[in-house]
Amino acid sequence: YRKTLYAQPMSGNALYAYDLTQDAPETLNGRFLGKLLPNAEKTDCRGMCVGPTGTVWCAVTEQVKGKHQLHLVSYRPGDTAPRDHGRIHIANPDFTEFTGQDGKRLPYHAGFEKLEDGRFVTQYVNMGVCEAQDGSVYLLAIHPYTLLKVPADSLLAAWPPELPSAKNGVATVADKSFLTVPEAVQESRTQDGAAPFVVAQSPPTVTLAYHQQLGESAIRRRLWSSWGDICVASDGRVYMGIGDHGNDRDGDARCFVYCWDPQQQRLDQVVDMNKVSPPRDGHPSWSKIHAKIDEGPDGAIYFSCTLNDGNRAGNDDYRFDSTLPGGQLYRYAPATSLTSVFADLPSRRCTATSLMDRQRGIWWCNLEAGDGNALWGFNMRAGKPLHETPDGTIGFNRNFALLRDGSILFNGENSLATYDAATKQVSVLQASLGDSPGMRCSTGETQRGHVYGITHKTHQLFSFSAATTEVTALGPNWLNGSYTAVCELSPDERFVYYLPGSHGGAFRDGTPVVQYEIATGQRKVLAFLAETLERECGYVPGGTYGMKISADGGTLYVNFNGHAADSIRPQSMRPNGFGLCAFAAIRIAEAERTSSSN
């Protein structure tokens, strides 16, 4: 931090950077960052600063026909070149008198002029620039000495930021540094009870892309984040959602669905929920997709949106009505790019937890905002509800698993429970997860009849036998246990994949990608993503609630929460693992998924 020297020759029209960590050379080796004004023939720059956000600002004038046209230029580490914000003009030209009572120009007041298009501008060189804590930029004009303010709102950077070395918005990183164990992890692995792990021999290749088209003033939205599991469709495309955690109660929130095309290497926005359900002042709008996105039997993509807290849906100040009665199941048709309401959930209820039984055409979810949590099933072929348990049937409501016979394994109040697909009855099992309130994430049932998962709060790996209903504890998922919201079974059922540290804190352990081998119990770290992605892309991956694997078992798809690196992070964004969402395709080296344990 603060280890770079920037320089701008007064008439050089160029910005240079010098690494101050060089080993005491007699001459610092610098690098050319680009021209300040690419098309200017003659320039003059007498003001430059590095602001509190790490942004370099230059007040530069372009000399045209003897006059100096003032431009404001910025550069952030990771930018491909300096950015010209355009010519500065004065919004309040009557800020002072320029002529006396005799109609003549006052002394030393010749530094401003009115253009033919009506804009009021400076015409002499500029003498200084600085960035304030609130992000506004101030410049010092002369004749007369005048402090100019460019408000932060008018300087809002495009959000998300630009990925360095990206092609069509997609960056690819393949680096052995993915296999470097962070110092904090080296220390933690020696603690009593810490689960042992090995590190892969070959690093993965990581493809990274930011979610684009976030709307006006995206950088000022409350908290860009992703909370639900993602979907790999049968054609290989990947669907995921993000939201802004905005003012959902009063209709000022944003929520989007994106599609990753692995063939085209493109991440595109395919659904804007404010176009599907137009916002109305004083009425709710959706701010999150917390429930799972799934492909239905018809090949369409199904999802349900929610509020910042779905349990508030029943509150009187959330004015649901016949236009939007509560949570809904939406259908996106890839062939037509149209999104429609497929079904209404019970009135004034929402869901953060769902799964699709594609074989039987049943969509299952947990109903929030009632007198407790209820399991609700919708028959997609018949177009009507299949089953709804009484409120309070479900205990911890963030996960349930689909068994091979169509039954649902879920968290009861004090133990696991099942909904039997054949009898349509709920049975409370003797199976307990100890001090944990229940499963936080789980796989489906394997061919051998087991469900694998990770517990909530205690963060223990476990297996559940569908035949005997017995639970087997498998030890901490990572070191002494780390909150994990999603896990994924490999297609060959040899491995369970997961990324510990879901709620923003994964980067403190280097954002590990873990492969658990079922046969041996070995935990293998395929990559520590954080340090390398921060260095190469300016992105700190904070954790995930959405992860899936490709049909060939070779690529993990992850929808990340994260934040920007310090060098480009806005002051308003805390480095807490949220605020900047990204999608990653992690291609696992073949030797790490086909050979015996190493």
Q: Per the domain annotation, does 15 fall within a domain?
A: yes
Question: What are the two backbone dihedrals, phi and then psi, of residue 356, each rounded to the nearest 5 degrees?
Answer: -110, 125
- Pairing relationship of beta strands 198-199 and 523-528 according to DSSP bridges: parallel
48 Cβ neighbours under 8 A, 6+ residues apart: 6, 8, 56, 57, 58, 59, 129
Written as one string, the DSSP assignment of 57-94 is EEEEEEEETTEEEEEEEEE-TT-SS-EEEEE--BS-TT
- Interior CA angle at 316 toward 315 and 319, to 5°? 105
**Peptide linkage before 52 cis (omega within 30 of 0):** no
Of the candidates 225, 44, 72, 216, the residue with the CA atom closest to the CA atom of residue 136: 72
Residue in the block written with tokens 């403190």 = 508
Beta bridge partners of 583: 209, 559
Number of domains in the chain: 1
Q: What is the pLDDT of residues 116-154, one digit of tens each?
A: 888 899 999 999 999 999 889 999 999 999 999 998 877
Torsion of CA 406, 410, 416, 419, to 10 degrees: -40
Residue type, 148: L
Cis ω for the linkage preceding 160 (within 30 of 0)? yes
Please, which residues bridge with residue 394 across strands?
373
Judge whether 12 lies within some domain.
Answer: yes
Give yes or no for a contact between 248 and 286, defined as CB atoms under 8 angstroms apart: yes
**314/311 Cα distance (integer angstroms):** 7
Q: Judge contact between 592 and 575, C-beta under 8 A.
A: no
Q: What is the pLDDT of residue 536?
A: 94
Q: What pTM value is reported for the model? A: 0.80
Return the amino acid letter for 94.
D
Cα separation, 258 vs 37, whole angstroms = 35
Query: Which pLDDT tens digits describe the chain residue by residue (598 residues)?
Result: 568 999 999 999 999 999 988 887 788 889 999 999 988 899 999 999 999 888 899 999 999 988 999 999 999 887 778 888 888 999 999 999 999 999 999 999 999 999 888 889 999 999 999 999 988 999 999 999 999 999 887 776 668 988 888 888 999 999 999 999 999 999 999 999 999 999 999 999 999 999 999 998 888 899 999 999 999 999 999 999 999 999 999 999 999 999 999 999 999 999 999 999 999 999 999 999 999 999 999 999 999 999 999 999 999 999 999 999 999 999 999 999 999 999 999 999 999 999 999 999 999 999 999 999 999 999 999 999 999 999 999 999 999 999 999 999 999 999 999 999 999 999 999 999 999 999 999 999 999 999 999 999 999 999 999 999 999 999 999 999 999 999 999 999 999 999 999 999 999 999 999 999 999 999 999 999 999 999 999 999 999 999 999 999 999 999 999 999 886 777 678 899 999 999 999 999 999 998 555 5
> Which backbone phi and psi does 312 adopt, to 5 degrees?
-80, -5
Domain assignment present for residue 319? The answer is: no
Give the separation between CA 4 and CA 458, rounded to whole angstroms: 44
- The pLDDT, as a whole number, for residue 2 is 67
Q: Which residues pair with 564 in a beta bridge?
A: 539
| DSSP assignments along 7-63, one per residue | E--TTT--EEEEETTS-S-SS--EEEEE-SSTT-SSEEEEEEEE-TTS-EEEEEEEE
* Residue count of the chain: 598
Give kind and range of the element (H or E) at residue 593: helix 591-594
Residue 118 placed within a domain? yes
Residues of the domain holding 132: 4-155
HEC assignment per residue over 98-151: CECCCCCECCCCCCEEECCCCCEEECCCCCCEEECCCCCEEEEECCCCEEEEEC
Whole-number pLDDT of residue 56: 94
Q: Which of 38, 32, 27 is nearest to 8 (CA)?
A: 32
Residue 306: per-residue pLDDT: 99
Handedness of CA 390, 394, 397, 402 (dihedral sign): negative
* Cβ atoms within 10 Å of 136's Cβ, excluding its own: 16
Q: Say what the pLDDT of residue 596 is.
A: 55
- d(CA 577, CA 505) in angstroms, rounded, equals 6
> How many C-beta atoms lie closer than 10 Å to residue 147's C-beta?
10
pLDDT at position 1 is 53
